[in-house]
Amino acid sequence: MQHFLVFLTALAPFSIYAATPAFTLTVANDLSDSPRRAETLVVPWPEVSARLPGAQIDHVAVKFDGRLIPVQVTNFDPVNAEGHADALLFQHDFAAGERLARFTVETTRYPVPPFPTKVFARYVPERLDDFAWENDRVAHRVYGPALSLPSAGKNQLISSGVDLWVKRVRYPIVDRWYLKGEYHRDTGEGLDTYNVGKSRGAGGVGIWDGARLLVSGNWKTWKILANGPVRTVFEITYDYGDAGGFTAKETKRFTVDAGHNLDQVESTFEFRNPAGEITIGIGLAKMKENSTPELARDNVGRRWQSVWAEYPKNGRIGTGIVLAANAAPADFAEDDLNYLILTKAKPGQPLRYYIGAGWDRSGDFSDEKSWTAYLGDVGRRLSSPLKLEYSPAAATPKP
């Protein structure tokens, strides 16, 4: 009897994923001439529940070639929508030439254990109201209210720029670095060698009045909507007391995916301006170090911008911006602190762009050419979205 119980215990993990109701998801890739790594596939939850009635968010598994892969279910409104879910997320690495990938989505008998996270964000009150985030490639932070006060002493800084921490490792480091306090020296995981100051840093924004960049103060509020293991989503708000004759508010929604060096940002501005639109400058800091700016279009006309800079004893870092397809006609400009890529924004309409960085000691980029090639590739991927098809089709509701 004892041996029989041991046998059942050994089988228990496998019974979690025993044959249950399932459907097939086929993903078509039209850009198959090169790899598409860490593509995040987003399945709206209504598509799941239509094929798996009664599916619970902790009882859904996804398999590729029979292997269980990490999944995440998002719910951006858990307080007012108990039991609600927005989407099922998971990732796939498309090899060059891989035009189709098929996945099985199924319910499980027992809850699916959480997967190790590759993305993370949190408010950091112990470091003067920083807000920090990371994935398995890079880390960032933005500055909060406490840092702008005289009580911050020698650390006082008023800036809405985006700071950057470069990483050698794929695991999360934000909590550890804040704990040890010393992250300006590389002890094997990476370091903070990037100097933001009052610049835009690695992708901060301002309102361009034609001659100068008008910027906000430190962030006002924060809200985390999702926090791994595949994707982290959060919102940061800023106030512009001086926007060139009017005031403005900005809400930035960051979408941070595992496996990517650029984060998606959607900036939504609220303002009253007789012109009905404003010009936004998305900036990369001019580094005192030996640096090379590059302002360009990719092969589909999408605007992108890069700065590649050398840091004594700490390697070379590339920062970059790629505009999404919905960005209005853009131009380039600069001021004393920043190289800017310009685009238009209308009140209440999200402006989408992508910001981030790469380090030649991370193992991902060997030189400036590989970094700018990556930015161009991001533009190509954005111009050729993946196509999802579900089988069986959702049942047609009865009239």
pLDDT reported for residue 243 = 85
pLDDT at position 374, please?
95
Per-residue confidence in pLDDT tens, the chain, 399 aa:
444 344 334 444 444 444 579 999 999 999 989 999 999 999 999 999 999 999 999 999 999 999 999 999 999 988 876 778 999 999 999 999 999 999 999 999 999 999 999 999 999 999 999 999 999 999 999 999 999 999 999 999 999 999 999 999 999 999 999 999 989 999 999 999 999 999 999 999 999 999 999 999 999 999 999 999 999 999 999 999 988 888 999 999 999 999 999 999 999 999 987 778 999 999 999 987 677 777 665 545 568 899 999 998 999 999 999 999 778 877 889 999 999 999 999 999 999 999 999 999 999 999 999 999 999 999 899 989 999 999 997 765 444
Q: Report the C-alpha gap between 185 and 191 in whole angstroms.
A: 6
Residues 154 and 246 in one domain: yes
Tell me, yes or no, whether 15 and 158 share the same domain.
Answer: no
Residue 124 confidence (pLDDT): 98
| Residue at 393 is within a domain | no
Q: Please say whether the beta carbons of 358 and 318 come within 8 A.
A: yes
The pLDDT of residue 396 is: 54
- Pair 297, 353 in one domain: yes
Q: Are residues 94 and 162 in the same domain?
A: no
Same domain, 67 and 176: no
Taking alpha carbons only, the member of 51, 42, 60 closest to residue 24 is 51
pTM over 0.85? The answer is yes
Residue 64 lies inside a defined structural domain of this protein? yes
Over the range 93-105, which residues count as b (16 or more CB within 10 Å of their CB) and which as e? Answer: ebeeeeeebebeb
Q: Do 355 and 249 share a structural domain?
A: yes
Query: Which domain does 100 fall in, by range?
Result: 2-115
pLDDT, residue 51, reads 96
92 and 56 within one domain: yes
